[in-house]
Amino acid sequence: MTSEFSGQDAELVAWRKQKRAELLAWRASFSGEDRHRANEMVLDRVYWLLRSNRTRVAGFYWPFRGEIDVLPLMHRFLAEGGTAALPVVVGRGQPLSFRHWEPGFPMAAGVFGIPYPAESRVVVPDTLVVPVVGYDDCCYRLGYGGGYYDRTLAVAEPKPLRIGIGFASLRLDTIVPQRYDVPMDYIVTEAETIRRAVGDDADVSLA
């Protein structure tokens, strides 16, 4: 993909930083009944994907800074016999690790104070549910800028199903993907589910 930023890394970093700040400010202001309704619609769509792809071990996240609250989905997934996991930052520049989580497990505070299971076993998710700060129609995700998920997905074996989730208003025309950006298999919002076609740049929007 060509763009005005090609070969201009410093400008791209500055542009992403600006967009990230704008989107995070909007997400923090989105509240009330509209947020609650959108959250439920996203979780219903993700639940359908977990079921249809026969997910057994799902990596979720602990909601932070106005992200989609996946805790109700985690409880629903557990109630139907699935195994839930939460990410752990092992170290700067390192891929994430995922630890088994259930209600009542002892938790510790990780990076930015985000809780993670303190003593549980490491598991390998076959599906990852990943929050987005922004996204585009090619299923590329704009995150917080740390690169943790990109590094994790780049080395993951076997490759997990990748589901990025967020609100429809976080959509960008493009995040200007670079060689290190790993696309999601799906982007799920309250408005639609976008599927990235395997081996093709074309994407399909599902009802």
Place of tokens 């990109």: 150
User: What ranges do the domains of the chain cover?
Assistant: 9-206
Helices (H) and strands (E) in the chain, counts: 4, 12
| Residue 149, φ and ψ in degrees, nearest 5 | -70, -40
Helix, strand, coil percentages in the chain from 3-state DSSP, rounded to 5: 30, 25, 45
Tens digits of residue pLDDT in 80-133: 999 999 999 998 889 999 999 999 999 999 988 999 999 899 999 999 999 999
CATH number for domain 9-206, candidates 1.10.10.10, 2.60.40.10, 3.40.50.720, 3.40.50.10420: 3.40.50.10420
Rounded distance between C-alpha atoms, residue 121 and residue 98, angstroms: 8
User: Which pTM was predicted?
Assistant: 0.90
Tens digits of residue pLDDT in 129-167: 999 999 999 999 999 999 999 999 999 999 999 999 999
